[in-house]
Amino acid sequence: MSMKHGNIIEEWANLYSPVVRWLGKLQKKQRSAYRLWQFCNWCKLNPDELLKLKKDPSSKEAEMLLDRFVAEEAEGFTNSVKVNISSTVRSFFKHNYCDLSSSAGKIDLEKVKPYHRPTQAELRKLWLSCYNPRDRSIISLSASTAIAKETIINLKWKHLEEKWESQEIPHISVPPELIKGHGRGKYRGVRQETFLTPEAKQDLLNYKEWLERKMGRETTEEDYVYVSVYEPYDQMTYSTLGTVLTDLQERTNINVSLHDFRRYVETALESISMVDNWRRKIRGRKVKGEEAPYSQPAIEELRQKYREAIPALEFIREQVNSEQMRRRQLLDTARLLGFGDERLRRLEEVLAKAKNVDEAIEEFKKLKDEAEDPPEENHVKIVKGEQALVDHLKLGWTLIKELNRGKYLLKSA
């Protein structure tokens, strides 16, 4: 018998009332149902037959069955998978009032390989390999906020602070129901108070502008931040987010998960000697002794400390870039976009007067809109070098594919 995550509840779980009753008490229903099905498929018993093993409370048949499952070698069941299935089976019995003995199905989770913490270079490569502004924003947001995978798909624009667009380091406040513990029991009142780096903020602004242009309307506070890139622009699903990461892994040969991004943020915060309670607050974990969300003054204090970690968090621009190099790169980008002599001269004048390149970029965008020969729709071009690629992506171009010898094929927005 074969079953998939997507139809496990409709095709299997709903056939058994004990399973329906059990799933009604859980948050992650689909995953739990699949793990229980895996165990039932292994032992050749259905859920009703499993519970009958405890019809006599003194019987230890169910416990011995679970012990045998964790002890035997079975194809497809790694140590970590067995840990998860064993926990699921114990939960199923418990919520059907047939608790198993505490020692049943005990198994240690051995760490087979070291946890991976992505480097700035790896994150940069992942970011460069994204095909659209949404996916680029997911990468930079995850690497600056430590927001978990389950939370990302449920994030709404209202969770960003008011007028976040004008903040250098925007604050994001994630409510208890969207993070670990879901606001229940000891996790009641726990919030995640985190921030976007300037890079991540710019990515989010680029994505928002791109999305609103595609939808033909402005986003609202109740809209989900990350949605499908096609009509009707529904909330992004957990499986779609997983596919985005899987595709990036295949394109870059970098084996990374969004949980690894949380380690990346934690390491950056440790590097500036941020106290443990503050790091826990940014990661959305319970802070000992705390009874209520942070006050605004405390958020500002946290923001100022977070600012110190930005050099260790940002990864899109190479850290060695000087203002002079960025000025040359902006001129190179203008030439690649087909600026004529007159517009290049005007851009050079803007750069000479501007305090920094970021200030000049706004004027550059105006000059870009004055193109003598506007590109045809779906216009494609080849650029050479990562920095040229980054500059074009920020201007709305989309990466089609990476070519040989450091060249990239792009398509206009």
Q: What is the pLDDT of residues 19-53, one digit of tens each?
A: 999 998 887 788 899 999 999 999 999 999 999 99
- Do both 326 and 393 map to the same domain? no
Number of domains within the chain: 4
Domain boundary among 79, 95, 111: 95
Q: In Å, how far from its chain's centre is CA 31?
A: 19
Say which residue, 342 or 172, is predicted with more confidence.
172
Of 81, 80, 88, 68, nearest to 13 by C-alpha is: 88
| pLDDT given for residue 182 in this prediction | 65
- Do both 25 and 72 map to the same domain? yes
Domain boundary among 264, 290, 313: 313
Range of the domain at 46: 5-95
Confidence label for 374 from pLDDT (cuts 50, 70 and 90): very low
- Do both 331 and 291 map to the same domain? no
pLDDT digits (tens, 9 = 90+) for 289-328: 665 556 777 889 999 999 999 999 999 876 444 566 667 6
| pLDDT given for residue 184 in this prediction | 67
Confidence label for 64 from pLDDT (cuts 50, 70 and 90): very high
| pLDDT given for residue 211 in this prediction | 93
- Do both 339 and 276 map to the same domain? no
| pLDDT given for residue 406 in this prediction | 75
- Do both 54 and 163 map to the same domain? no
- Do both 160 and 279 map to the same domain? yes
pLDDT at 164 over 50: yes
pLDDT at 380 over 70: yes
- Do both 215 and 291 map to the same domain? yes
Residue 100 lies inside a defined structural domain of this protein: no
- Do both 358 and 262 map to the same domain? no
- Do both 18 and 42 map to the same domain? yes
pLDDT digits (tens, 9 = 90+) for 101-129: 888 888 765 544 456 788 999 999 999 88
- Do both 150 and 273 map to the same domain? yes
**Residue reference for tokens 């400390």:** 305
Say which residue, 376 or 85, is predicted with more confidence.
85
Residue 107 lies inside a defined structural domain of this protein: no
Confidence label for 372 from pLDDT (cuts 50, 70 and 90): very low
Contacts 24+ apart (CB under 8 A), 387-393: 387/318, 387/321, 387/329, 388/329, 388/332, 388/333, 388/336, 389/128, 390/128, 390/316, 390/317, 391/329, 391/330, 391/332, 391/333, 392/333, 392/336, 393/128, 393/136
Residue 109 lies inside a defined structural domain of this protein: no
Domain boundary among 271, 292, 313: 313
- Do both 306 and 341 map to the same domain? no
Q: How far is CA 162 from CA 96, 157, 170, in A?
A: 46, 10, 9
| pLDDT given for residue 201 in this prediction | 95
Chain mean pLDDT for the chain: 83
pLDDT at 58 over 60: yes
Residue 276: Cβ within 10 Å count: 12
Residue 105: Cβ within 10 Å count: 26
- Do both 146 and 252 map to the same domain? yes
